[in-house]
Structure 1
Amino acid sequence: MPVLPQVLALLFVVTWGVGAALLTSVSQLSPSGYDFIIIGGGTAGSVLANRLSENPQTKVLVIEAGIRLVSHLKSIPVPDMTCNSSEDIQDVKIPFLATSLPSTSVDWNFTTTDQTGLNNRSIKLARGFVLGGSSSINFMTWNRCSNDYWDSLATASNDSIWTWPAVEYYYLRTSTLVPPSDGHNTTGQIIPEVHGQDGPVQVSLPGHATELDQRVVDSAFILGGRFTYNEDFNAGKSIGLGYVQNAIGNGTRSSAATGYLLPIVDRCNVDVIISTRVTKISGSLSASEIDTVEIAQSANGTPTKIKAKKEVLLSAGVMGTPQLLSLSGIGPKGVLSDLGIDVIVDAPAVGANLVDHPLVANYFTVNSNNTWDPILRNSTLFADVLEDWEIKRQGLFVDTPGNTQGYFKLPTYPGGVDPSTGPLSANTEVIFANGFAPFGPMSFPDSGSYMSVLAAVVSPTSRGTVIINSTDPFAAPVIDLGILSTEFDIVAMIQVIKDIQTIVATSPWEGYVTGIYGDLANATTDDELTEFIRNNAVTVNHAVGTAKIGEVVDSHLNVIGVSGLRVIDASILHTIPECHPQAIVYTVAERMAALIKHQYGI
């Protein structure tokens, strides 16, 4: 674990202007009511708030359970980079410090049940408990996935509005491609023509080169085939090795909060209330005609009812959305009846189909003095790098921990079936990090220089559930990932670990990689690799699917069986994207905002 020395740092806050736009008490809510009530001020909810309030006659309320977007470097220790920080809120603006955000006050701090596929380990699942949601605490990777993924969404929904040609316009509306923070020539690293030019989220290539970057690219050209170089993962095909693209502008995180919410706080027709939980959704005229949300600011607080004149838009996330649907009588009949909840819609698919990307960190010792390892062990070095970021927006902290990544197909498939959404979509992913990145149970070493290569299965076939076992809306749901419960997922993870070793055995790594570090060094057979995987796997925090399109919602994301209620977040996805999903969620929200505006003529 990194040494925790004290560093003096500046205090800075991304906050809201004085006025009624950001509310902290239910007494501040507009007495005239709202046209749309958005439950969740996260990635999708922020998009909806921005786009629906473009018409000044449309009144919008955003209800966020978490806190305001505060970014403050205090006189605190060097952040614990193990994803198990006990500090309060760390800095959400600095890209490199993203690993310090889980297990803090900006995280929901969800925990799974003991997982058979992890040798009965329970793991934490990070979700943003803050304006901007997970876009404010994630690792910022920007992938819109392959064309195949979007076409499969259209097939699952039986609606052509979700094909790639139909959604491309909305994807381009989400973001703006900006130069990397170091201003380097990006020719050959990205295809600018496939990116947005005037959207709210800033997207860029890494702005601080490492010793790994060119080695990864050179390996791609040496190996070819499954490992071919991919100039841009957002050009329709995900396969190959190339440069990571991130939601970063000028060395700073670009989130749904900074991109979509912050610019609209002066709109008189938008209210955002924070630290407020929605406890139930209901209908005032009939149970199936949804127009009312009940809110409370504490478990013992008196509920307050608010009505939506047009619609309630549920964007509470993959864990929160099925929980709230179930608490409101929309869910599996058996579960609801056992808890004494009146069943409005018997919807067995609510909370089912939960899926995430399993991840295993691979560590290597390296012959280098230029990894980040010494910076996390030394308060003086850490303070110097922090100052470089604060004053110049330069150096290590302008990027996430990984500059390069790869997406691969398996060479063969168990049973001959590829579970991905098509030939342009991947089965596995790798990310190269220039230091020891403690994902999983291994601790940060006290000495030495390291490279981490994170391995993930991005087309997993394991599925889990999110189920309530209490009528208390302030109690966490029961989350069973079912992770690594299928043969394919284990076979795929073994293959990607072998692929990593194939890559680092090429000539660009000669003399740089000096050995495998940790338990992986002793795992040589498939049985030993399986045990290593089960003992070390976590997830990439990319869960989706708990309000599946075609089963819980229709193609316009209306909840089936009721009126006046839509679900718009990652829970509607039919299967997990074979990529990092935040750009998918932004695009879905943009598409739905346009559809809703058209429907109501606003």
Structure 2
Amino acid sequence: MAEGFDYIIIGGGSAGCVLAGRLSEDTTARVLLLEAGGRDRNPLYHLPAGFAKMTKGLGSWGWETVPQRHMKGRVFNYTQGKVIGGGSSLNAQIYTRGNAQDYDEWRQMGCDGWAYDDVLPYFRKAEDNDTYDNRYHGKGGPLGVSQPIAPLPICEAYFEAAAALGIPRNMDINGETQDGVCYYQLTQRNARRSSAAMAYVAPNEGRANLTIKTGAQVRRITVTGGRATGVELMDGTHVTATTEVILSSGAIGSPRLLQLSGIGPADHLQELGIDVILDQPQVGENLQDHLDLYCIVELSGPYSYDRYAKPHLAALAGLQYLLTRKGPVASSLFETGGFWYADRDARSPDIQFHLGLGTGIEKGVAAMPQGGVTLNSCHLRPRSRGSVRLASSDPAKAPLIDPNYLSDPHDREMSIRGLKLTQEIMAQAPLANYVLAERLPGPDVRTDQDYFDFICEHSKTSHHCAGTCRMGSDPAAVVDPRLRLNGIAGLRVVDNSIMPKVISSNTNAAAIMIGEKAADMIRQDARA
């Protein structure tokens, strides 16, 4: 006999954890959270600098993209969280929300209720901000949001270098304006990562009406008479939902599971021998991501956290953290950055920077033997669109992830401009006492073709994928503005896959906001 709940949440990532915490506040609601990955018991999930291990495999599905046809067939590592907390347990803890105009644009695209003034209360509701309590920020929420406690002197020199190019300092890029360089606030509390799992699930695990199952991969969503009625797990277990099945598996995982369940492009599903429950061509379409480029400089002294790569210094750093909660282990390694323009006519900043206080931090990125820093840039509003498709009807097989990077020539031009801007910043006089030489791209990269060739070899995902279960009011949209799946009752999608357009920044804070807003909508619809 199948076990029954009111709500089944598929995916314990950022939005799924929020839903588990919020929906279980109603003591009469039986809530089940299913996570395919494991628990976050490894200390590296909680140490801010643990991010350096994450893109190298810890807590990840280990997926890759298909060869990128507009980037000379390049295959990208594509880190997707497979652990409670999802991406919020793996990321660099950068707390950015995007630009206010991103959400106003969603409303203009037919997503009523998603304008900036509509979503701002949910950002504030989530926050326990250690610095601000005003129109833009809140205190007392589940999510720790903190000022960085481990920047280095080179960060201040970076701000001065940007100022030399007319880029101002911005003390709060989530406030009135996004323009300028900054210290990012971080999803941390007391120098520990504040993942969605730690913020919304861990404090509530004792609730009698909340059941959490890890290592529980869903094979398919069960649909009866046009209504989602539950799920089937990989081990054959069936679980029923009397009110809703809520899919929160992310911009790759959610369209993947819909297609495995027979909800997606009919021709694609039929080719794989999957019975079609609902022909929905847009499931898995509209994939957007930020392509990350990087300028790496070698430093003239021990000015970055690279010096702690030596085992005895790493041990000292660990001891310092245990005793003082400071030092390199307390650093997200990317707490410095900002927003500026590749296109001066853009409606808001279209380039984002992340200053990495070391080299070789992420998988596939070069390391400097003598130490250095990495200044990343990404074009924030790509026009390129990709897809997520199944390689097989076997749910154990990896999906076909195709971000289709640089398929639009505008993306290529803006990306190159952004990379050139990082080089300009690192070449300014305030950094001269720190920088020995630029190593990548280096002096041999001069023409736009040289830059394109460089990008094809030296770039990576920003881990900001979105859009594959697009929200809208048009008949082709996968979900409506209340995130209900069009064509199947009792099924909702709640994660970054619902974004009609990717926001102009890191995406984790938005995933938590989406979870908060969805929890309210789900409760309202249940009462109605």
TM-score range (shorter-chain normalised) is over 0.9
Give the aligned residue type for 1:263: P
- Output the CA distance in 2 between the equivalents of 1:165 and 1:355: 24
**Contact 1:360-1:439 within 8 A present in 2 as well:** no
**Contact 1:175-1:196 within 8 A present in 2 as well:** yes
Query: Counterparts in 2 of 1:127-142, with a 5 A limit?
Result: 127-142=80-95
Query: Following TM superposition, by how much is the alpha carbon of 1:430 offset from its aligned partner in structure 2, in angstroms?
Result: 1.3
Equivalent position of 2:349 in the other structure: 426
Q: Say whether residues 1:386 and 2:328 are aligned partners.
A: no
Secondary structure of 1:388's match?
Answer: helix
Of 117, 123, 128 in structure 2, the residue corresponding to residue 176 of structure 1 is 128
Query: Following TM superposition, by how much is the alpha carbon of 1:153 offset from its aligned partner in structure 2, in angstroms?
Result: 1.8
Q: Deviations over 1:4-48 (max 9, x none)?
A: xxxxxxxxxxxxxxxxxxxxxxx9x9x5x2110101111111111
Secondary structure of 1:140's match?
Answer: coil
Equivalent position of 1:198 in the other structure: 140
Deviates more, 1:523-532 or 1:260-269: 523-532
Secondary structure of 2:500's match?
Answer: coil
Equivalent position of 2:53 in the other structure: 100
Of 506, 512, 517 in structure 2, the residue corresponding to residue 586 of structure 1 is 512
Of 445, 448, 458 in structure 1, the residue corresponding to residue 368 of structure 2 is 445
Q: Say whether residues 1:146 and 2:99 are aligned partners.
A: yes
Q: Say whether residues 1:598 and 2:520 are aligned partners.
A: no
**Contact 1:145-1:237 within 8 A present in 2 as well:** no
Query: Counterparts in 2 of 1:104-115, with a 5 A limit?
Result: 104-115=57-68
- Output the CA distance in 2 between the equivalents of 1:579 and 1:204: 18
- Output the CA distance in 2 between the equivalents of 1:330 and 1:472: 15
- Output the CA distance in 1 between the equivalents of 2:394 and 2:427: 54
**Contact 1:37-1:311 within 8 A present in 2 as well:** yes
Of 294, 298, 303 in structure 2, the residue corresponding to residue 370 of structure 1 is 303
Query: Counterparts in 2 of 1:104-503, with a 5 A limit?
Result: 104-159=57-112, 161-178=113-130, 194-224=136-166, 227-284=167-224, 286=225, 288-296=226-234, 301=235, 303-376=236-309, 378-411=310-343, 418=346, 423=347, 425-439=348-362, 441-446=364-369, 448-503=370-425
Query: Following TM superposition, by how much is the alpha carbon of 1:222 offset from its aligned partner in structure 2, in angstroms?
Result: 3.4
Deviates more, 1:137-146 or 1:95-104: 95-104
Query: Following TM superposition, by how much is the alpha carbon of 1:532 offset from its aligned partner in structure 2, in angstroms?
Result: 0.7
Secondary structure of 2:19's match?
Answer: helix
Q: Deviations over 1:94-132 (max 9, x none)?
A: 111202123435111111111123321211111110111
Query: Following TM superposition, by how much is the alpha carbon of 1:453 offset from its aligned partner in structure 2, in angstroms?
Result: 0.7
- Output the CA distance in 1 between the equivalents of 2:362 and 2:109: 33
Query: Following TM superposition, by how much is the alpha carbon of 1:440 offset from its aligned partner in structure 2, in angstroms?
Result: 6.1
**Contact 1:145-1:236 within 8 A present in 2 as well:** no
**Contact 2:186-2:335 within 8 A present in 1 as well:** no
Secondary structure of 1:318's match?
Answer: helix
Equivalent position of 1:526 in the other structure: 448
- Output the CA distance in 1 between the equivalents of 2:182 and 2:67: 36
Percentage of pairs with the same residue:
31
Q: Deviations over 1:372-394 (max 9, x none)?
A: 22211x11100000111122211
Secondary structure of 1:517's match?
Answer: strand
Equivalent position of 2:31 in the other structure: 60
Of 572, 575, 593 in structure 1, the residue corresponding to residue 498 of structure 2 is 572
Q: Deviations over 1:383-415 (max 9, x none)?
A: 0001111222111111211232121122357xx
Query: Following TM superposition, by how much is the alpha carbon of 1:156 offset from its aligned partner in structure 2, in angstroms?
Result: 2.5
**Contact 1:373-1:450 within 8 A present in 2 as well:** yes
Give the TM-score taking structure 1 as reference length. 0.84
- Output the CA distance in 1 between the equivalents of 2:365 and 2:144: 34
Query: Following TM superposition, by how much is the alpha carbon of 1:168 offset from its aligned partner in structure 2, in angstroms?
Result: 1.4
- Output the CA distance in 2 between the equivalents of 1:115 and 1:221: 36
Compared CA separation, residues 236 and 295, structure 1 to 2 (3 A): farther
**Contact 1:42-1:128 within 8 A present in 2 as well:** yes
Deviates more, 1:518-527 or 1:262-271: 518-527
Q: Say whether residues 1:562 and 2:488 are aligned partners.
A: yes
Q: Deviations over 1:248-289 (max 9, x none)?
A: 1111110011000001100000001110111111223x1x11
Query: Following TM superposition, by how much is the alpha carbon of 1:502 offset from its aligned partner in structure 2, in angstroms?
Result: 2.3
Query: Following TM superposition, by how much is the alpha carbon of 1:236 offset from its aligned partner in structure 2, in angstroms?
Result: 4.3
Query: Following TM superposition, by how much is the alpha carbon of 1:597 offset from its aligned partner in structure 2, in angstroms?
Result: 1.1
After superposition, the CA RMSD in angstroms is 1.9
Q: Deviations over 1:322-353 (max 9, x none)?
A: 11111112100110111222222211110111
Query: Following TM superposition, by how much is the alpha carbon of 1:439 offset from its aligned partner in structure 2, in angstroms?
Result: 4.2
Q: Deviations over 1:185-211 (max 9, x none)?
A: xxxxx7865222011111112101312
**Contact 2:352-2:378 within 8 A present in 1 as well:** yes
- Output the CA distance in 1 between the equivalents of 2:434 and 2:56: 34
Detail structure 1 runs of 4+ shifted over 4 Å in the superposition: 190-193
- Output the CA distance in 2 between the equivalents of 1:233 and 1:393: 26
Give the TM-score taking structure 2 as reference length. 0.95
- Output the CA distance in 2 between the equivalents of 1:236 and 1:341: 49
Secondary structure of 1:124's match?
Answer: coil
Secondary structure of 1:125's match?
Answer: coil
Equivalent position of 2:464 in the other structure: 542
Query: Following TM superposition, by how much is the alpha carbon of 1:560 offset from its aligned partner in structure 2, in angstroms?
Result: 0.5
- Output the CA distance in 2 between the equivalents of 1:468 and 1:273: 25
Secondary structure of 1:521's match?
Answer: coil
- Output the CA distance in 1 between the equivalents of 2:329 and 2:58: 22
Secondary structure of 2:376's match?
Answer: strand
Query: Following TM superposition, by how much is the alpha carbon of 1:462 offset from its aligned partner in structure 2, in angstroms?
Result: 1.5
Compared CA separation, residues 442 and 587, structure 1 to 2 (3 A): closer
Deviates more, 1:120-129 or 1:434-443: 434-443
Give the aligned residue type for 2:399: P
